[in-house]
A and B are shown apart, each in its own frame.
Chain A
Amino acid sequence: MNKGRLLKMLALCVILLLMLSQLAYAAGPTAHAYGFTYLGDWSTDRTWVVDMRLDEGGYSSSYLHDNSASYVRYNMRNDAVFYICTHGSPGYFCCYSSSGTMTKISGNAVLSDSSCYSLYAMYNNTDYLKDMRLAYLSACHQWEIDPTYGCTETRLRQYGVDVIVSWDGTIKIPQADVFDRFAFWYMMREGYTVGTALAYAKAEVFYQFGDYGGVDHYHCSGNGDEVTTNPSNVRMIPARYGKY
């Protein structure tokens, strides 16, 4: 075989390998990380880092910003991992347009609030969220119950999500920033269970700030996966969808 032919063959092999790797990448379970430019860097930068970690963990992740509650709520149904970094109050978390128009995703349907899009209205008696392995609600109060708006964590648990990470009380932005970055590092890069990754993230926050700013009030709940019924012991890699 002459040299020219050999080179051509080699080039073809390289191209084929690249195409295959792209295909494999695209075939990873879907993940979405949502941030909002209206809230500033603390929402967008962190979401971008989480998106990167999800990609590294084998998920086919997209970083989306400035989407409305109606879009985010609809889009959740395809996700293996759902991450959102935003403001929250008991019973709902907020979605913002770039100009600051706010809409809410709540646990319960609240007819008197036109900005509210509930998980109940879209997902009650459906199995759309059963494929979700991890819902990480990086916002204040998502573990708490509001008599009107309900509770987002409870709804996600009821609708079949394997692991939900949420907080009771408020969380300070700088501490939550470190917590989320390290939690995803330990889950996606080091392969620890969700519970161990969260504990390591907690230790990192303590070492950096000398206090927690509320992030130690995290809750790891959910239905578990095919390996364990304990959500804390679920591992996020290898990447896969949730237990159906």
Chain B
Amino acid sequence: MKKIVLWLILVFIVITSLVTIVKAYGGKDISVASNPAQNLLTPEEGQKKLIQLFGQGKGNCMFKGKFKLGDTEVFRYENSEVSYCINPKTKNVVCIIPMLSKVEPSKNTINSEFVKTTLDNEQIETIAKNIVKKCAESFKLENAEIKIEQLPGEIERAFSVLIIERDSNGRRTGGRASVSISATGEVTFVCIIDESYPKVAAQEPKLTEEEAIAVAYKNLLQESKEVLVNYDKKEEHQVEACLDVWKGKLIWDVKIEGVKARLGESNNDLYDKSFHFKIDAITGEVYFMGQNK
């Protein structure tokens, strides 16, 4: 009898363990989770990869240790010119940062003026896509959304390119890349979030766009109604909402602009306030609320 009870307990433990393991890994929709630990990149392999990608000059770097970018642990490598970060799980180069600025900023430009350049948007897009492809092979560029912006007064970071990964249905999947390009076409900054959640992106939101905007307004009023002047005049606001994936969750990304706010208690100075929300498209939970200074 005692033996049977012991066997039953053993079988119960084995079954519950199996269920836990299946639950933990079964539903995960992230390329990183599928990489077994033994496939992690070593610091030495990272060094070789940098030389292979960027050549002996720019790619020959010292390993400076592990550190965190957001929640992601990365390896950092440096030489006198440039610093790289590699995600050891995905083996992608996720960050390129210059160690020294090569361009002397002009002391005489008027701040609002754009620096002259011969590059057009098509050339900028090609440069940005090429560097992202080189750094992160797994990043899907086929259906990506591209936003190009020129920064006034900047030579070294003249163009800012945001590449948002999308699936074949045009839904954002969570991967995104930011690239800065100088007025002469040199890449001066790269940062890539190389985690993609296609299954999450394919989900249908339970919250409609209108409901998400209503949640945003409710939170906006709770937070700062007392300093807002035209909070009830929605026709004066510019509202934008789109589905996105953020940290593995399907969200509504809601932006509200054109809200006027008082600058202080003692005078009538007003300023333009804008709000940004990230709202869970399934549960309606507000993960993020940002307003400008």
Contacts and interface: CB of A to CB of B under 8 A. Distances in A.
Interface of A: 38, 86-89, 94, 96, 99-102, 115, 138-140, 143-145, 151, 153-154, 157, 168, 170-176, 192-193, 195-196, 199-200, 202-204, 206-214, 216-217, 219-221, 223, 229-233
Interface string B264-277: 11110101101010
A220 to B, nearest CB: 8
A151 B153 CA distance: 14
B153 A143 contact: yes
B111 A203 contact: no
A86 B271 CA distance: 13
B293 A231 contact: no
Nearest to B275: A172
A181 B272 CA distance: 25
Given A144-B111, A207-B72, A207-B193, A102 B264 contact: yes
A221 B193 contact: no
Contacts of B95: 203
Interface string B250-293: 00000000000001111101011010100000000000111111
B110 A172 contact: no
Interface of B: 69-72, 83, 85, 95, 97-101, 103-105, 107, 110-112, 151-154, 156, 160, 162, 174, 176, 178, 189, 191, 193, 244, 246-247, 263-267, 269, 271-272, 274, 276, 288-293
- A-B residue pairs, 7 tightest by C-beta: A102-B264, A207-B70, A100-B265, A232-B101, A170-B292, A172-B290, A101-B266
8 contacts: A115-B267, A143-B111, A202-B191, A203-B69, A203-B97, A203-B191, A211-B276, A232-B105
Contacts, number: 142
B178 A206 contact: yes
B99 A193 contact: yes
Main secondary structure of the interface of A (DSSP, over half): mixed
Contacts of B69: 203-204, 207
A214 B263 CA distance: 20
Contacts of B191: 202-203, 206-207
Contacts of A140: 271, 292-293
B263 A175 contact: no
Contacts of A151: 111
Given A212-B178, A216-B178, A230-B105, 14 more contacts: A153-B111, A170-B274, A171-B293, A193-B101, A195-B98, A195-B100, A196-B100, A206-B178, A207-B191, A208-B70, A210-B247, A219-B154, A230-B104, A231-B105
A213 B263 CA distance: 20
Nearest to A170: B292
Contacts of B263: 87, 89, 94, 102
- Residue from B72, B83, B97, B291 having most chain A Cβ neighbours under 10 A: B97
Contact of B193 (A88, A96, A206): A206
A157 B107 contact: yes
Contact of B160 (A99, A101, A176, A216): A216
Given A99-B265, A168-B111, A196 B99 contact: yes
